[in-house]
Structure 1
Amino acid sequence: MTARWGALLRRHRIRAGFTQERLAEAAGVSIRTIRRWETGGRGQPHGPSVRRVVQTLDLTAGEGEQLLAMAADPVRAQRRTASPPRLRPVDFGSFVGRVAELGRLTADLTGARGRHIVVVHGPRGIGKTFLAWRWAAGHSARFPDGQLLADLRGFGTNAGAQAPSDVLYDFLLALGVAPGEIPGGIDERAALYRRVVAGKRLLVVLDNARDSNQVQPLLPANPAGAVLITSRHRLSGVAVGSGAESMALAPLPDSDARRILATSIGTRRAAGEGSGELLAFCGGQPLVLAAVAARAAARPELGLRELTEELRELTAASPASHDRTSGLAAVLGEYHPDVELMELGSGLLTQAHHLNEAGRPDDALSAITDAEAVYRQLDRQTPGFYRAGPLADCLMNKSLQLLDLGFAAEAVKASAEAVELRRPSDDDPGQRWAPTGGLLRMLVAGLENHAVLLCAVGRRSEALAALTEVVELRKRFVTAKQAGRTVSPRG
């Protein structure tokens, strides 16, 4: 085994967002094996184990072949000429608009003038990363010496920002430098990096940069290629020190925003009643629009005006409602410090779905339980904000999974807790139910699901009580709405 093979595995693992423990679990190998591989321990990697790791990391065909070849015959593999590094392919099926911005990037990054460095800046969710990847994918032929990508994680909360020294190490590996030839200090690494890329027609994409200091060591001294940077800030230091162009990314115009909505819910519904109000609420932010479109597609029976009212209620209860550029931003975690945990919980529930599809219900329950732990942590950090939505939904999924596995009592307990989490407290003015009734509908849906589960386990009298409460809540809601009053859970 060679240190080069282990270093390459480490780079692919980090890029894919795996810890050593998670990769070992997902690929079905021991954590000791992953650690031994990455540290260049003795012994030849076992072929089937390496193949499982390659599949888990979802590498491109070329990357997977390179890793397998180095594991099978490291000496011969190292003698091969390294292929130019390339960005992984991305599906841009939902990419809409930005024609003028793409054209300006082409002019600035490939034109005759300037340093060919551009900083695309704007608030989170405005589409900076998507724009950068779209442009890079469409212009790969202009950069025959390859493309380098680093997510600098400048605004992450759980995984800290990438140190420039670590990014330089990964870049040098990708460019064919052996691990033993990479110096330890950042200045020495930066100098070696600039020597290696000197004169190369190479595209460097630095995504999610925190500040100019994080970016400066990663800039070629005199790029023959181009550098594309994304950040929430203008990075004036890069403009002054390196002559970078600056591009502020604005919200999408209404026509493009409506096209994004139409890709998920159809042209007729996207142009129908309530669509203008919903689009105005989203503020032209692609991330928000995509999330709203997915929510609308999952609930075809819900009118777009009702959906907008529901989202307004959720946003009003957000702890970040004072600091947002669109109504739904805080609900999505746009300005909330726990967005990574929210994404982890969502990823675990998606994993559970696929495990069930693969005939592994026990593993699916384990993934749902992990997601529950994530949402409970979020609830402890921001009491009340996640209970009625993500945590309650997760517990309902858990109850159904437990029922399928034959744990009836545990299933009823999880379902009952999901219902209680959806009951707002009269003591908390931020949890009152407005006449539009979005939060009320969440409780009603939970009670209806709980009633179905109670019937399934033979507890029909309790199921009838739950359905009776549903009817009473609906009556109370109708009466309060007609009177123009706010309705609470107790009348």
Structure 2
Amino acid sequence: MGRGWRWRRRRQDWLTRDLDNAEFMLRVSRWLASRWSRHDFDVGSILLDYTRRLSEAGRHDEALSALDEAIAIGRRHVHAKPLRYAPNLAAALLMKAHLLAELKHLDEAVSSAEGAIDIYRTLVPGDQVRFEPILFAALTSLGFWRHRRGQFNAALAPFEEASVLARRLPPERIADRAMALNNLGAVLQELGRASDALPPLEEAVAIRRRLLAEDRGRYEADLVASLRNLEQALSGVGRYVEAVEVIDELAALSRSSNATADGESGPA
């Protein structure tokens, strides 16, 4: 047997031990919560960690059940103790949304993400540093999922809000700013608003060109996607000479690497 099998076996053993420990802590916390309701918070927190471990082990149905329990606990207490329970409730809703999306239940994923976003918006004023980046990520995911459902108009609002928040991200997250600007420009272009799409797309391309110089392998596909969006927007407003220049840049990228000038446009 090869090293790959041994690595998978060691990982499985680690996941099993990890789950056993989490299940033990969960049993203890549930026992305490059955006697003192203040321990409901501990149960909810442990359920979030337990869900991560279940997901890593591929036990998705159990992970969803654990999240539903965490959400029920949060909803039971959040009105009386919002500062204590709202962060965990929002986290559970967002985790559920991502798991549902992974399982291709996009309608349910969108609904769960919307609930999480509503809560994160209330949390940001109290702790912007902690919660605003999470809100940015949640809005980006919601936009993607709405876009995947073909709901371009509905995808626009979260992408717009995410693009505003992206400007307040720390400098080391410049790639996320480019992603947010590209997403916004791509959806505006798809809605026939090419002139509105150009400024965010031009900025996204400028950022991704700089990132490409730092790490070609990591950022080239992103630049290709943004260039495709930019070419379509330029063509949409009749700036054909500039559109041809973008096509030439895509062709040059294709010749010099594995990137393809025929890659898909859209959010990326």
Relative to the length of structure 2, the TM-score reads 0.49
- Tell me which structure has the larger Cα radius of gyration: 1
Q: Which has a greater percent of helix?
A: 2
Structure number with higher strand proportion: 1
Please give the TM-score of this superposition, normalised by the length of structure 1: 0.30
